[in-house]
Amino acid sequence: MHIKHLVLKIGKCMASVFVLAGLMAAVGGSALVSEAQARDLTGDASMTVVRHADSVDAGNLREERANWRLEHALTQLQLALQMQEDRLLMADETIVFLQQLSVDLEADGKDTAELEAAIDDFATSVETANVLWNEAHQALDAAAGFDIEGKVVDPDQARDTIETARDAMADCRRILKDGTTDLRRALREYRQALGDEAPSGLQQGA
């Protein structure tokens, strides 16, 4: 029953009690409850309904806020996913550049074993990061728990979607960052080993 209708019914009930009390007094009978007592009883009932309405409103507000946070997270993760893809594409370009540089150095008589090992390690990191990126992409593309406009329709599924994508993207970022750090260190050491013979291209790769 709607809260407003329930309040109206209580009001009508209170009026009926007042009338009954007056009739009992008029015929000399003993009223079951006095007017003041009736007011107290109905007043308590009204307050209970109001408190219940406030509780319902508070619950709805909490649910709306939780859904908004999920919807906001979906939008932010979709944007972050695109930025992460750009970084992965740059990593792929770096691998291609360094592979060509290694070929040129080897043709020039340089020992490229350490450089090739560093490139292979970085390529492995990028490959793993791409797998994680695809996992996040699939989760966000399916967007289970959200409708086509990105609104929450199933909070539990929506929460799972956000957690799956967020965890996969965090792992992707960590692996790519660690791989990049290792690559830069390896390139710096290789450049130092070559000394004055180090090509300028190693500066770009590092």
Q: Rounded mean pLDDT of 175-196? A: 92
Phi-psi region of 110 (alpha: psi -120 to 50; beta: other; left: phi over 0): beta
Q: Where are the domains of the chain?
A: 3-205
The one-character DSSP state at 146 is B
Higher per-residue pLDDT: 153 or 204: 153
Q: What does 85-131 look like in DSSP terms, one character per residue?
A: HHHHHHHHHHHHHHHHHHHHHHHTT---HHHHHHHHHHHHHHHHHHH
Q: What is the pLDDT of residues 92-145, one digit of tens each?
A: 999 999 999 999 999 999 999 999 999 999 999 999 999 999 999 999 999 999
pLDDT of residue 55: 55
Q: Rounded mean pLDDT of 182-187? A: 96
| High-pLDDT (> 90) share of the chain, % | 60
* pLDDT range class, residue 193, cuts 50, 70, 90: confident
Q: What does 40-79 look like in DSSP terms, one character per residue?
A: HHHHHHHHHHHHHHHHHHHHHHHHHHHHHHHHHHHHHHHH
pLDDT of residue 36: 54
The span from the CA of 69 to the CA of 64, in Å, is 9
- The torsion angles phi and psi of 152, rounded to 5 degrees, stand at -70, 130
pLDDT of residue 23: 36
* pLDDT range class, residue 2, cuts 50, 70, 90: very low
In sequence order, what are the residues at sequence separation of 6 or more whose Cβ sits closer than 8 angstroms to the Cβ of residue 143? 74, 150, 161
Q: Rounded mean pLDDT of 32-57? A: 51
